[in-house]
Amino acid sequence: MERQDIHNSDMPVLCRNCEVRHRGLCGALEAGQLLALSRHTQMVRQEAGSELIANESEVHSYANVMRGVVKLSKMLEDGRQQVVGLQFAPDFLGRIYARHNNLTAEAASDVELCRIPKTALEKLVEEYPELEHRLHEQALRELDEARDWMVTLGRKTASEKVASFLWLIATHIDPVTEARRQEGLVESVTFDLPLSRTDIADFLGLTIETVSRQLTKLRKDGVIEVVNNRTFTVPDLERLETRCG
């Protein structure tokens, strides 16, 4: 997979076929730099539910999310849990520069990751400042998202929280339809939830019962249609947005 076709171009085939290359970290790099990077990367598939990063574990590698959804969470000593973020392709996964991880990462759906060892990435970052710039911008984006979510956690009602969650998923799960939505071309969306009711509750600071009740309320109000437990359709996204508080 990591072999390059020198008769064609300097770009590794792995990267040439990479769907997220232009949007993610690697968009920063020229062909030659991509080659340097790809010498150390490895594509791995992980099935839903597998632990990608264990809390308190030593950092050995980082990764780019290529496909699927990753769930980031933290736990109090007594077991109370809070999901502190979701990552979608092409997000960078891992806390660079830290010795130890301070959260848990789990595959929420089946995921594909492009892994790179800690030392390899850190060396490349020193060499190519544009790489650090990209990582910095992602950190800032995640910080913005975390702060937006703090408003949801601290100040919204259960009903608004659930609507906000559905809105988040509807607008992040599929970059293609999201692009069309932003041009006003789409108002109805169908999607699969990447999280169980328990995870949703842990994301929203609620119980699963409250999440369930608010979902049925949204269904009865016609804001969502339930295809099955895990897949919903939102007939009118603007209508959903008004429910987000």
Partner DNA sequence: CGCCATCTTGACACGTATCAACAGGCGTGG
Partner DNA sequence: CCACGCCTGTTGATACGTGTCAAGATGGCG
Write the interaction track for a copy of itself spanning residues 98-137; mark x where CB under 8 A is met and - where it is not: x---xx-------------------------x--xx-xxx
Left (φ > 0), alpha (ψ -120 to 50) or beta: where does 56 sit? left
Polymer length in residues for the chain: 245
245 sits near DNA (criterion: CB under 7 A) = no
207 sits near DNA (criterion: CB under 7 A) = yes
Q: Which of 33, 42, 55, 82 binds a copy of itself (CB under 8 A)?
A: 82
The SS3 call for residue 182 is helix
**Number of residues in contact with DNA under rule CB under 7 A:** 21
Q: Which of 38, 21, 23 is nearest to 138 (CA)?
A: 23
Instruction: Tell me how far, at minimum, the Cβ of 166 lies from DNA, in Å.
Output: 12
Write the interaction track for DNA spanning residues 160-199; mark x where CB under 7 A is met and - where it is not: ------------------------------------xxx-
Backbone angles phi, psi at 88, to 5 degrees: -120, 165
What tokens appear for 221 in the block? 């109000």
63 sits near DNA (criterion: CB under 7 A) = no
209 sits near DNA (criterion: CB under 7 A) = yes
Question: What span, in angstroms and rounded, lies between the C-alpha atoms of 188 and 132?
Answer: 38
State which H helix or E strand residue 217 sits in.
Answer: helix 208-220
Binding interface with DNA (CB under 7 A): 157-159, 196-198, 205-213, 215-216, 226, 228-230
